[in-house]
Amino acid sequence: MGDLKLFRLNGDSVDELEGQSVAVEKSLQHILERHLETFLGVRFLASEHSTGKRHAGRIDTLGIDENNSPVIIEYKRSVNENVINQGLFYLDWLLDHKAEFELMVMRKYGATVSDAIDWSSPRLLCIAGGFTKYDEHAVQQINRNIELYQYKHYTDGLLLLDLVNATTAQTVHIEDDTPATTATNRNTRVKTVSDYLEQANTELTDRYETLKAYMIALGDDVQTKILKHYIAFKRIKNFACVEIHPQTAKILLYLKVKPDSITLEPGFTRDVTNIGHYGTGDLEVTISNGEDIERAKRLINMAYDVS
């Protein structure tokens, strides 16, 4: 776990700001919930959601992220509280109550978002003033998407959220419950990005691996998430989404870069702000060769820095 320090520069002098990392108070939960997309890239659904008489619990915060994955957020309010185990309990509850969650999403964000929910990768986010080395070790042993965030509250209205640990579960995408017993069903099944990656030739695969290696090397906070239609590279929020297109031998990057902040190059970069696409990010970058990868690195860096 890193020991982050925050300083104020006053001319020739430097003052260290003292941050408080006490147990999470209710007021902090309310602040995070009011600005959940800004802080964590998660759309807010519910606060203190009851799990019913049988489970007799309350999920601190429920949401859905930019990749349409369900999100549970739990806050550690006392030193002895085992927030990770509690969150895992609620995660199991959520997977047994998919219809209830889908109805909540439909009522708040509409049928399009509800239909797009990705149940292959629900996330558990735990927020606390601090975690022990045992907490960090424990999440590494669990095949679930778990992220540990440490927070510090400073004077002058400053709030620090530090992603101190993240694990990514292996995901398996299931199309539906209907067996593909006929040639027609097999041929009409919607292909995933994993399917396209398997179909890619050696040259296209090597290009993707080069891009992947570059983005992972940007920082130890980079996470890779294989979704149905694209592969997301994220810190706290997505900074790049990758689509593989074997038929055209191209890779499409969708970056969190404002298209009007750069000079667009026809055939290489495109503003897709008002054009439907799977990945998050309004700047589309087309990778056709190794030279394009080198040209794209500056844009990838820009997206990483603001995510």
Query: What is the tens place of the pLDDT at every residue in 69-124?
Result: 999 999 987 766 788 999 999 999 999 999 999 999 999 999 999 999 999 889 99
The separation between CA 205 and the C-alpha centre of its own chain, rounded to angstroms, equals 24
Distance CA 259, CA 275 (A): 13
Q: Return the number of other C-beta atoms located less than 10 Å from residue 290's C-beta.
A: 12
Q: 3-state DSSP call for residue 102?
A: helix
Q: Which residue has the higher pLDDT, 273 or 186?
A: 273
Q: How confident is the model at residue 186, as a pLDDT?
A: 46
Question: Sign of dihedral through CA atoms 40, 44, 45, 48?
Answer: positive
Q: How confident is the model at residue 168, as a pLDDT?
A: 84
Yes or no: say if 151 and 20 are a contact pair by the CB < 8 Å rule: no
Query: What is the tens place of the pLDDT at every residue in 17-52?
Result: 877 765 556 788 999 999 999 999 999 999 999 998
Q: How confident is the model at residue 133, as a pLDDT?
A: 87
Q: Does pLDDT of 179 surpass 60?
A: no
Distance CA 279, CA 276 (A): 9
Q: Which residue has the higher pLDDT, 169 or 208?
A: 208
Would you say the pTM of this structure is higher than 0.75?
A: yes
Q: Which strands, in side-by-side order, build the sheet including 42-50?
A: 42-50, 58-65, 70-75, 123-128, 145-153, 159-167
Q: How confident is the model at residue 269, as a pLDDT?
A: 97
The two tokens of residue 18 are 């003292």
Compute the average pLDDT of residues 212-221: 94
